[in-house]
Structure 1
Amino acid sequence: MKQAVLIMAHKNLNQVIRLIRSLSKSDFHFLVHLDSKMDVTDSEFCNLLNCSDNVFIVKKRISGVLDTWSLVEISLSLIELAKQIELNKNIHYSYYLLLSGQDYPIKSVEYITEFLGKTYPKPLIDCTPYDKHNWLYYKFNVIGIREISKYVDSKLNRGILRKIIKLPLIIYGSLLGWVYRNFLYDYKLYGGSAWWILPDKVIEFILHEIKTNGHKINKLKITNTPEETFFQIMTMASPLSNLVDLNPKDMVEQNCMTYAHFSDEGKPFMGHPYILTKEDFSKIVKLPQLFARKFDTVTDSNILDMIDRHIVNNT
């Protein structure tokens, strides 16, 4: 079984290369999107990596911005490249694994390969149903205002004027969300982690929906944080929805194959995962997940060395 590893890279070029090398002794093919903000050419990247016939780079570069459709667009560009490679090489990918350049395997390649072989075709995606009382409320009921709100914040200092300007935007976004939620969405709504492992049948369903039902897809583009909702919605609309381990509506913890550390005793919730360091090693090696994030070799490269040694010693 060949697998397509889709990598969204936006910083730390050497760390991205290390991620690919950590998984290279396998039937994995690596499809890489280098963010337009990265100061590196495709050829420079390949020269550093010694690109072989299992690494492919998306030609069109996009600037990925959190909480916007751009991240879904990048994911889809990686999927489209994978489908092109399938056609050109007359191969077939069973699973598509979406990773960021700051992810890293915490299990051996052999373990990951065997796990995916036994699990196929189950979609491995963190998926929680929408409810007006859970964390997904804001994703679908107050929509279209996040980017505008950020723009206002960047132009005006904190104070009464900024609040006065933002108030009608919030009211507008709430009203628009109510209209969409009650009358315009064509799919049942779900959300979860942006990082997933999806089987070929779900990927093919998504591409078919985009091609034949673009008007339905367009309505999902203005939700808040579409990278945490679009693939969940599509997976649950697919023929394999019955295989998904659906979360309870009140569940907050992520249920996916990529571990992220969002909270810690004495530390505030920041809305994004903390950087994992060597102090987290003893916890990481006990995790059931296949990958973990976020790592940053500028902050701490020792943790990746420790993980590599642990994998070698326990294989």
Structure 2
Amino acid sequence: MMIAHLIIAHTNPKQIERLIGRLVCAKSHIYIHVDKKSKIDDFIYLKTRPNVYFIENRIRVTWGAYSMVQATLKSMEQILASKMEYSHINLLSGQDYPLKNPNEICDFFLANSDKTFMKFLSINDHWKEALPRLHNYHLTNHNYPLKYRVQYLINKILPKRKMPANLKPFGLSQWFTITSLHAKYVIDYLKENKNVERFFSMTWGADEFVFQTILLNSEYRNNIENNYRRFIKFEAGATRPMILTLNDVDSLLMSGKFYARKFDDNIDNEVLNYLDSVVSIN
């Protein structure tokens, strides 16, 4: 069994190359989905690295739109179709970076081959501020003139939406490490329940709900651990994480997490240099 790292990328191939160098070990393969809006020629040289593969069915991703879910699902379908025996698919952004040795991380996931690791809250009970994202119609995933005017009118006229299929909503973060079994279950579920797919396609930031909601309403709910093993820092009220710098290294190293995001080597390259100096890859 091995681990498949899935990197969702849209910019800065040099930083992704650096990330790959810190992920590689004998127990892992790396897959890269490059946003269809980005020039693939800027990234394709990474394919020369051992055990690095590119997702062929690329999706044009818009922030907050269902297209992020589509990119994740299409990527997972290719990984599962490879017929390699992957214990987990580990979803990363191109601005993530590991905080521990890659072999240590892989050994942990391989030892927990029946568990998916993701962060979640009950929307109805503990994340009620997210309810408007489920109750209202959002046309973020569509592209036509005056779509936000249309969205406003739809929400003015129509009643609040309700979760389909008697699903109880859960969610929080789009980043997770999912077993191959659970990934296949979500893919198949959405294909078989088009009403659920349609609902989430009109949900803003659906990537923060889809996987948690489907799995926590399934027979696999007891195999979902509420810990995504990631360090992510937000300012109060912010929708995007803070850029981590050298000032954050103590918090990063004391966190006990496997990965952190997000980093930008154009803003602070020294934090990555420091992590390289203290985190072994051997």
* Aligned equivalent of 2:74: 77
What is the CA–CA distance in structure 2 between the aligned matches of 1:48 and 1:120, rounded to whole Å?
A: 29
Q: Contact conserved, 2:67 with 2:141, CA < 8 A, in 1?
A: no
Equivalent in the alignment of 1:226: 206
Query: 1:128: how far off?
Result: 1.2
Change (3 A) 1:284 1:209: same
- Name the counterpart of 2:177: 197
Residue 198 of structure 1: SS of its match in structure 2? strand
Equivalent residue number for residue 290 of structure 1: 258
8 Å Cα contact 2:141/2:201 also seen in 1: no
**Alpha-carbon deviation of 1:191?**
1.0
| Correspondence 1:197-276 to 2 at 5 A | 197-245=177-225, 255-263=227-235, 269-276=237-244
Confirm or deny that 1:279 pairs with 2:247.
yes
1:234-266: per-residue Cα shift (whole Å, max 9, x none)?
2213322112245xxxxxxxx422221102xxx
Gaps of at least 5 residues in structure 1 are: 155-161, 247-254
Rg larger for? 1
The structure with more strand, counted as a fraction of residues: 2
1:310 to 268, 278, 281: 278
What residue in structure 1 maps to residue 122 of structure 2?
129
Taking the aligned partners of 1:9 and 1:292, their CA distance within structure 2 comes to 16
**1:276 CA drift (Å):** 0.5
Identical positions, percent: 25
Q: Does 2:116 match 1:109?
A: no
Aligned residue in 1 for 2:64: 67
Kept in 2: contact 1:143–1:222 (CA 8 A): yes
The one-letter code matched in structure 1 to 2:156 is: I
Structure 1 Cα separation of the partners of residues 195 and 132 of structure 2: 23
Per-residue CA distance 1:144-193 (angstroms, 9 max, x = gap) = 25679xx8699xxxxxxx9xx98645534xx44x2424xx4442211110
What is the identity, as a one-letter code, of the residue corresponding to 1:96? I
Q: TM-score, normalised by structure 1?
A: 0.80
Q: CA RMSD in A?
A: 2.7
Q: Which residue of 1 aligns with 2:49?
A: 51
Tell whether the 8 Å contact from 1:145 to 1:169 is kept in structure 2 after alignment: no
Match for residue 301 of structure 1? 269
How does 1:161-172 map onto structure 2 within 5 Å?
Answer: 168=153, 170-172=155-157
Contact kept, 8 Å, 2:95 with 2:264, in 1: the verdict is yes
Gaps of 5+ in 2: none
Q: Would you say how many aligned residue pairs link Structure 1 and Structure 2?
A: 280
Once residues 20 and 111 of structure 1 are traced to their aligned partners in structure 2, the CA distance between those partners, rounded to angstroms, is 16
The TM-score normalised by the length of structure 2 is 0.89
